[in-house]
Amino acid sequence: MKSRVLTTTSFPNEAKTADNIRKELQQQLVSVLGFDASVMNCVVWDQGANYVAALRPYRCLDCQDHLYNTVLRHALNPDELSETIPEVAETLQATKALVRYLKQSGLTSRLSKTVKQMAETRFSTVFLTLKSIESVYSELQEILQSRSESQRLHDVSPDVLAFLVQFLRLFYDAQRELERDKYPTLNLVVPLASQAKTPLQPDSVKEAERDDIFQLAKRQIARFREEGTAVQGADQAAAASISVSAPVAAGHAAKKRALAEFEEEWENIVEQDEDDDDEVQQYLRLNHNMEGDGRDVLLWWKQHETLLPQLSRLARTVFSVPASSSSSERVFSAAGRVIEERRTTLKPSTVDAILFLHDAL
């Protein structure tokens, strides 16, 4: 798995409409990078808010990292929690107020571990704040009691705190996995989501989802075979056209062509026999265990490419798509450190070169 920065550019001085965004993307890919215009159909685009209309004709995928964040931001909405689970809302608000007080009073220096600040817009900071308070809860009791300020911990229920840390840890760990770009992450989306649904979803629903995936894989394999048949037919037509206009070769060339025709006929027979045995069923019969192969699922498919050629092709196509846009977000963060207050006059080409080298070296 490789993640690379191809190019960065400043947006033209015009409205960021859907048409202008699509035009600029095509300009960069075709005119600057030299791709064929059809590459727009080969890319799976991040479905950001301002890209939805611009890329509607093309394949888009929501960033799973952002989806987790959005779901949990709504789930932890203090107004809704106050009505449905007031003890959770009280613990969250009291924890936030406690951290603010600890920072302002300088009491954090007396703690054995750092206390994290909570930002409601990103749930990961909510988890880290709750986890940091839980880890020093007994210390806080002693410090606040010595200052006659035990009431500041009154609404921070240790039981609710432990429950929230345990509940949110699953989503936090999932986000950390989906943000990586050194190995495929799209294959982790379904297992992580299934893990989150386990307490809530019956097994019959999971079985139905699994069957749907198997059927989708079979349809995609059939499409690959149709494409291969069409390409083979075109090649044969081109060869026939050439043979009509060219003189018939003799001697060594004739033997070579005859051998090639025999090999092609034999390959067709072998492929037909393999078609009778469904690759999806072959894959299921392997009863494989991916734990020994680590995170690199593409390596596993590379090793089984001969046994499962069509599924391996499907795996390369699908698993090359990242599950989140975190790689792009990191480029924006790097750009923010490059274009700082004292370097606002940098040329776009200079910024592009700096970010390219920062990523490549």
pLDDT at res. 121:
67
Mean pLDDT computed over 83-108: 92
pLDDT digits 0-9 by tens, 188-238: 888 888 777 765 555 555 677 778 888 888 888 888 777 766 555 545 544
Cα 65 to Cα 324: distance, rounded to the nearest angstrom: 6
pLDDT at res. 39:
86
Residue 168 sits at φ, ψ, to 5 deg, of: -80, -20
Least confident of 88-92, 117-121, 168-172, 311-315: 117-121
Q: How confident is the model at residue 145 (pLDDT cuts 50, 70, 90)?
A: very high
pLDDT at res. 205:
59
Closest C-alpha to 28, from 12, 4, 14, 44: 12
Radius of gyration for the alpha carbons in the chain, expressed in angstroms and rounded:
29
Mean pLDDT computed over 317-330: 88
Closest C-alpha to 294, from 179, 187, 176: 187
HEC profile of 191-260: HHHHHHHCCCCCHHHHHHHHHHHHHHHHHHHHHHHHHHHHHHHHHHHHHHHHHHHCCCCCCHHHHHHHHH
Percent of the chain with pLDDT over 70: 81
Parse the chain into domains and list their residue ranges. Answer: 67-226
Cβ(124)–Cβ(172) below 8 Å: yes
pLDDT at res. 228:
66
pLDDT at res. 46:
85
pLDDT digits 0-9 by tens, 248-290: 334 444 434 443 443 444 344 334 444 435 888 888 888 776 6
pLDDT, mean over the chain = 80
pTM: 0.72
Residue 48, Cα to own-chain centre: how many angstroms? 13
Q: Which tokens in the block code for residue 156?
A: 């921070």
pLDDT at res. 256:
43
